[in-house]
Chains A and B, each alone.
Chain A
């Protein structure tokens, strides 16, 4: 089995061994990354076409994460092309983060650098992290009808902090909608994880691809923070 296929089939118990073998046989870590990314592209497509659902997709994403944990320290960052930087989190009061994690993993799979703030993130933390991390795109998620109002609050807080023009804000989650995005002045909405990647790619094209980013944070650690 090759590494791409291991990602597609979510071989969480086999992928580490496969990667070790590939490294031993002299394969470059950057090529392994490319194979995993192309596997994730297939997963994203299967998810969009409703061949894969949440369980299958999560399994693939976890396989990719295990692979990334091995190769991340070995990557030659001068040769990694980064699509853009995305900061993502579920708004305060909302603990649903499965969809947001899928978006985060798909984005990483598509070559974005992602910082995942987790769930139940206070509005001020979004603002501070936007200031520090300087993302191209800020993704906000809300699953519950009771917490969606926090999205508006984050956008207003970014405006107050003078940061709104520096970052594109996109929203998603069961409680969000295209019309709500317009209403609160967000820059985009996506209804599922595959569409979120396309949205980010489109927004980055409009904004112009950023300079090569050399310092990639340990986004895996951030996810579990």
Chain B
């Protein structure tokens, strides 16, 4: 059984020959493996593809996480890139300006919307530019159906909060101007669905939607059900109808909203370490596959025994049916390559039937 078949089997809540292993190899780690600066990895599509492929070959895990939120960087975006106070500043087509430190991952410098009056002028990013799809095409071509390629779409709630309005504004907007918030979320939902459909057309195997701002430490279940859930559901059902399968990842606690998440139409839920996998399996295991949740803290600084112990605990709690062993979140910057090797190898060994 190759990685692609193994991963697909688990996504359909089946029991493959062994539990698939799929750590969330993100900007800091992939650039580290490739030996380039994080900003080079983020802004050069070729380096991005190289980094992901090199990490996949090095560790031999079962997926590739095609994690750029609006996919490949276009020529226009690259042209607008500049260096400011030791940061690489990257304006995006959604109107959000990102900044990337010389070491470390990208963060939002300026959210797109100062007020909701600007919402009517907002345009869908141009998805016809060929550079957007260079990374996904290259990853599919180079891996020839060996491995599960999972491509990211921007979750409406999280990207509305972090990219479009800024977190603090958005949190207040939910109470003070909910109608405008819903208008923005409708727009972001269209963006996510459109990006997802293009990825499915090109042949992506799965879709990843990360919605951390909807975590239960941040908003109440009531707010989750009003502002996050309906749009997660719209994206998942539209993409499912279009032939895709979606993993929703929320870093942070999702214990109070697991049943809701399972009803979004997602095929799989990726949970953080604050969620008890055994409890999650019991509550939603009949509806969705589970993904997670070896502590990124342990992978970062744990001993071999601690990392192996954590992997074992996850696999014992979740069982080998409908389960993919992964990190609880994106890997910490500075995670030693040796440590991730221990995690991946432990997953392969302990997850075997």
Contacts and interface: CB of A to CB of B under 8 A. Distances in A.
B223 A55 contact: yes
B329 A95 contact: no
B168 A56 contact: no
Nearest to A57: B171
Residue with the greatest number of chain B CB neighbours at <10 A, chosen from A12, A56, A177: A56
Contacts of A62: 172
Contacts of B334: 149
A101 B166 CA distance: 14
B329 A145 contact: yes
A225 B175 CA distance: 26
Contacts of B217: 53-54, 192
Contacts of A148: 332
B168 A94 contact: no
Contacts, number: 75
A98 interface: yes
The B interface, classified by DSSP as helix, strand, loop or mixed, is mixed
The A interface, classified by DSSP as helix, strand, loop or mixed, is loop
Interface string B316-342: 000000000000011111100000000
Interface string B12-42: 0000000000000001100000000000000
Interface string A139-150: 000001111110
Interface string A167-190: 000000011010110010000000
Nearest to B170: A55
Interface residues of B, number: 34
Contacts of B27: 146
A44 to B, nearest CB: 15
Interface in B211-238: 217-220, 223
Contacts of A101: 168
A174 B168 contact: no
Contacts of A179: 297
Interface residues of A, number: 31
Nearest to A55: B171
B184 interface: no
B169 to A, nearest CB: 10
Interface stretch (B2-10, B64-72, B103-111, B260-268): B103-111
Given A62-B172, A146-B332, A148-B332, A93 B104 contact: yes
Given A145-B331, A145-B332, 10 more contacts: A53-B223, A58-B171, A58-B172, A93-B104, A95-B99, A95-B107, A144-B107, A146-B104, A174-B252, A177-B297
Q: Which 8 A-B pairs have the closest CB atoms?
A: A145-B332, A146-B333, A146-B104, A93-B101, A55-B171, A146-B105, A53-B220, A95-B107
28 contacts: A10-B175, A12-B176, A53-B217, A53-B219, A54-B171, A54-B218, A55-B172, A55-B175, A56-B175, A56-B220, A62-B172, A93-B107, A94-B107, A95-B107, A95-B108, A96-B107, A96-B167, A98-B167, A98-B168, A101-B168, A145-B329, A145-B330, A145-B331, A145-B332, A146-B28, A148-B332, A174-B251, A192-B217
Interface of B: 27-28, 99, 101, 103-105, 107-109, 167-168, 171-172, 174-176, 217-220, 223, 251-252, 296-297, 300-301, 329-334
